[in-house]
Protein backbone atom coordinates (compact mmCIF):
# COMPACT_ATOMS: atom_id res chain seq x y z
CA UNK A 1 0.00 0.00 0.00
CA UNK A 2 1.24 3.44 -0.87
CA UNK A 3 0.96 4.74 2.73
CA UNK A 4 3.23 1.97 3.96
CA UNK A 5 6.00 2.50 1.44
CA UNK A 6 9.43 2.50 3.07
CA UNK A 7 10.45 5.56 1.02
CA UNK A 8 8.74 8.77 2.16
CA UNK A 9 8.67 10.23 -1.37
CA UNK A 10 6.46 7.33 -2.53
CA UNK A 11 3.85 7.92 0.18
CA UNK A 12 0.70 9.95 -0.54
CA UNK A 13 0.58 13.62 0.31
CA UNK A 14 -1.74 14.91 3.00
CA UNK A 15 -3.90 16.35 0.22
CA UNK A 16 -4.30 12.90 -1.36
CA UNK A 17 -5.13 11.38 2.03
CA UNK A 18 -7.69 14.11 2.63
CA UNK A 19 -9.37 13.32 -0.69
CA UNK A 20 -9.52 9.60 0.09
CA UNK A 21 -10.94 10.20 3.57
CA UNK A 22 -13.45 12.74 2.22
CA UNK A 23 -14.70 10.15 -0.26
CA UNK A 24 -15.04 7.52 2.46
CA UNK A 25 -16.92 9.99 4.65
CA UNK A 26 -19.26 10.88 1.79
CA UNK A 27 -19.97 7.21 1.10
CA UNK A 28 -20.55 6.58 4.81
CA UNK A 29 -23.04 9.44 5.05
CA UNK A 30 -24.88 8.37 1.90
CA UNK A 31 -25.27 4.65 2.55
CA UNK A 32 -25.52 4.53 6.31
CA UNK A 33 -28.36 6.89 7.16
CA UNK A 34 -29.41 4.82 10.16
CA UNK A 35 -25.87 4.64 11.51
CA UNK A 36 -25.48 8.38 10.96
CA UNK A 37 -28.66 9.12 12.92
CA UNK A 38 -27.49 6.86 15.75
CA UNK A 39 -24.11 8.60 15.81
CA UNK A 40 -25.83 11.99 15.91
CA UNK A 41 -27.89 10.83 18.89
CA UNK A 42 -24.72 9.57 20.56
CA UNK A 43 -23.03 12.95 20.03
CA UNK A 44 -25.95 14.73 21.73
CA UNK A 45 -25.74 12.39 24.72
CA UNK A 46 -21.95 12.76 24.89
CA UNK A 47 -22.17 16.55 24.83
CA UNK A 48 -24.78 16.51 27.59
CA UNK A 49 -22.59 14.25 29.76
CA UNK A 50 -19.56 16.46 29.08
CA UNK A 51 -21.44 19.58 30.16
CA UNK A 52 -22.55 17.85 33.35
CA UNK A 53 -19.04 16.63 34.05
CA UNK A 54 -17.53 20.07 33.52
CA UNK A 55 -19.52 21.28 36.50
CA UNK A 56 -17.93 18.65 38.76
CA UNK A 57 -14.53 18.91 40.34
CA UNK A 58 -12.26 17.79 37.50
CA UNK A 59 -9.39 16.81 39.74
CA UNK A 60 -11.57 14.10 41.28
CA UNK A 61 -12.51 12.62 37.90
CA UNK A 62 -8.94 12.39 36.55
CA UNK A 63 -6.99 9.29 37.53
CA UNK A 64 -3.35 8.74 36.66
CA UNK A 65 -1.29 5.59 36.72
CA UNK A 66 1.75 5.80 39.04
CA UNK A 67 4.08 4.13 36.50
CA UNK A 68 2.87 6.08 33.46
CA UNK A 69 5.09 8.69 31.81
CA UNK A 70 3.14 11.81 30.82
CA UNK A 71 5.96 13.81 29.27
CA UNK A 72 7.86 13.46 26.01
CA UNK A 73 11.21 11.76 26.03
CA UNK A 74 13.79 10.68 23.49
CA UNK A 75 13.69 6.97 22.68
CA UNK A 76 16.87 5.33 21.48
CA UNK A 77 16.58 2.24 19.29
CA UNK A 78 19.94 0.77 18.34
CA UNK A 79 20.57 -1.52 15.39
CA UNK A 80 17.19 -1.12 13.71
CA UNK A 81 17.02 -2.67 10.24
CA UNK A 82 16.44 -0.51 7.18
CA UNK A 83 12.74 -0.17 6.26
CA UNK A 84 11.66 -2.64 3.58
CA UNK A 85 8.43 -2.78 1.63
CA UNK A 86 6.35 -5.90 2.06
CA UNK A 87 5.64 -7.91 -1.06
CA UNK A 88 2.10 -8.77 0.09
CA UNK A 89 0.33 -5.40 -0.04
CA UNK A 90 -1.59 -5.84 -3.30
CA UNK A 91 -4.85 -6.64 -1.51
CA UNK A 92 -4.76 -3.24 0.24
CA UNK A 93 -4.31 -1.05 -2.84
CA UNK A 94 -6.79 1.73 -3.59
CA UNK A 95 -7.37 2.95 -7.12
CA UNK A 96 -6.71 6.70 -7.11
CA UNK A 97 -9.16 7.14 -10.01
CA UNK A 98 -11.96 6.29 -7.57
CA UNK A 99 -11.11 9.31 -5.40
CA UNK A 100 -13.14 12.39 -6.35
CA UNK A 101 -11.37 15.70 -6.61
CA UNK A 102 -11.76 18.07 -3.69
CA UNK A 103 -11.71 21.84 -3.94
CA UNK A 104 -8.15 22.91 -3.19
CA UNK A 105 -9.27 26.08 -1.45
CA UNK A 106 -10.46 23.91 1.47
CA UNK A 107 -6.96 22.57 2.03
CA UNK A 108 -4.25 24.76 3.49
CA UNK A 109 -0.81 24.91 1.93
CA UNK A 110 0.72 23.09 4.88
CA UNK A 111 -1.13 19.98 3.67
CA UNK A 112 1.36 19.62 0.82
CA UNK A 113 3.87 17.98 3.14
CA UNK A 114 4.45 14.23 2.93
CA UNK A 115 3.17 12.12 5.78
- pLDDT of 9-61, one tens digit each? 888 889 999 998 998 888 777 766 677 778 788 889 998 888 776 655 555 66
pLDDT band at 115 (very low <50, low <70, confident <90, very high): very low
Q: Report whether pLDDT(103) > 90.
A: no
- pLDDT of 60-80, one tens digit each? 667 788 888 888 888 888 888
- Greatest distance between any 2 Cα atoms in the chain: 54
More confident residue, 79 or 108: 79
More confident residue, 73 or 109: 73
pLDDT for the residue numbered 15 = 92
pLDDT for the residue numbered 84 = 79
Q: Where are the alpha helices (DSSP H) in the chain?
A: 14-31, 33-54, 58-61
pLDDT for the residue numbered 48 = 87
Average pLDDT, integer, range 93-100: 63
Who contacts 4 (Cβ-Cβ below 8 Å, separation ≥6)? Answer: 85, 86, 89, 92
Amino acid sequence: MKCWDAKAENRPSAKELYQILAKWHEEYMKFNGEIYSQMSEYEKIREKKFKNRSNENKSESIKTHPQAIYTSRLLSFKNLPEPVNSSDLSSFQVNSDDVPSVSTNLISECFDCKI
